[in-house]
Amino acid sequence: MPISTLVAASEAAPPGSDIVVSPLAWVAFLAFTAVLIAIDLLLHRDDHEISFKEAAVSSAVWIALGVSFTFVMWVWLGGDAATQYITGYVIEKSLSVDNVFVWAVILGYFAVPKHLQHRVLFWGIFGALVLRFAFIFAGIALLNQLEWLIFVFGGFLLFTAWRVATHDEGEIHPEQNPVLKLMRRTIPVTADYEGRHFFVRRDLRRFATPLFVVLVMVELTDVVFAVDSIPAILAVSRSQFVVFSSNVFAILGLRSLYFLLAGAADRLVYLNVGLGIILAFVGVKMIASHWYHLPTLLSLAFIAVVLTVTVVASLRATADDHAGAAESQEGQAHG
């Protein structure tokens, strides 16, 4: 590649930095998000166990909304913004799958009743949206003021890629979490769940319930995963609106994704490897952006290929074991 091309690329504005969104548009989007949250809360106002069919339909609706917003971005802000949005959406959605499996460990450890799981995840994700909003604006402000931070963020993504690719799900131990230990020492917690309540009063004292402890743990896991995923999306776009909107649509569908995939962790055996490759690619892309901005469409294509190969390879690798387990259960039933 000619040196002049590299120089021109290095002097070009970071992707998304030229996207201008008016305050009125921000208000409209936040209002639309609030309406979606209110509808979801209304549909699940009665606590009940989420069936696989309900989770599948809900997931399809959320994904359709997220993907459809690409068209809105295209018409409103142009092709570059739309490509950056859908790439950010795919990155956030794929990285969130690992978060879903951690939720499964936490909810299983605390034996959260199935009819209360949607409630705790709903409020956990609501809090996550507020945290993401703050993280995104802070991250973009830092990158705009201190351009050399792209090397720090890129290096962090490479480290995270190695950590994710070599991570063993069996190492997750919620009982060893320092925040949980601190809560148990400082906050009075009831012995049992008190229905859907996060707090109850006993003898003029306010007690937290185990459901509140689970909520804090869910929020904590999102903070940890946000530290990984937000730098990854900032490698794709510096537009606050593009990054935040892609986060919103990816996160709002996480509850449904949890009920759909929580039992599939043993089938996606290569998921961590695939996510590690994606994070490593994004880390290299961020570092290289100082000299050359890789077209976002190529990034999207690479991520889509990695995800497809990861899922197909995982399902093929576990197909025999899954079939064997099914035959064993059938044999025991007939026996």
Q: Tens digit of pLDDT for each residue in 163-221? A: 777 865 555 555 566 666 777 778 888 878 888 888 888 877 888 888 888 888 888 87
Q: Which helix (H) or strand (E) holds 206?
A: strand 205-208
Tens digits of residue pLDDT in 272-315: 888 888 888 878 887 887 777 777 778 778 888 888 888 888 88
Contacts for 73 with CB less than 8 Å, ≥ 6 apart: 81, 82, 85, 242, 245
Q: What is the pTM of this model?
A: 0.77
pLDDT at 61 over 80: yes
Instruction: Please count the residues of the chain.
Output: 335
pLDDT at 96 over 60: yes
Backbone phi and psi for residue 2, each to the nearest 5 degrees, phi listed first: -60, 145
Q: Is 315 in a helix, a strand, or coil? A: helix
Question: Where in the chain are the domains?
Answer: 20-119+127-168+229-317
Tell me which of 43 and 8 has the higher pLDDT. Answer: 43
Give, in order, the Cα–Cα distances in Å from 128 to each of 85, 248, 275.
19, 10, 21
Out of 54-63, 132-141, 199-208, 320-329, give the one with best mean pLDDT: 54-63
In angstroms, the CA 27 to CA 305 distance is: 36
pLDDT of residue 82: 92
Exposed/middle/buried for 197, CB within 10 Å: 0-12, 13-18, 19+? middle
pLDDT of residue 6: 41
Give CA 270 to chain center in angstroms: 18
Tell me which of 321 and 295 has the higher pLDDT. Answer: 295
Tell me which of 335 and 283 has the higher pLDDT. Answer: 283
pLDDT of residue 24: 93
Q: Which helix (H) or strand (E) holds 200?
A: strand 199-202
Give the pLDDT mean for 46-54: 79
Listed as own residue / partner, the contacts of 176-185 with beta carbons closer than 8 Å and 24 or more positions apart are 177/217, 177/220, 179/216, 179/217, 179/220, 180/213, 180/217, 183/208, 183/213, 183/216
Confidence of residue 45 (pLDDT cuts 50, 70, 90): confident
pLDDT of residue 10: 44
In angstroms, the CA 5 to CA 2 distance is: 5
pLDDT of residue 3: 46
In angstroms, the CA 306 to CA 94 distance is: 10
DSSP readout, 71-117? Answer: HHHHHHH-HHHHHHHHHHHHHHHHHHHHHHHHHHHHHHHTT--HHHH
pLDDT at 72 over 70: yes
The encoded tokens of residue 231 equal 């730098």
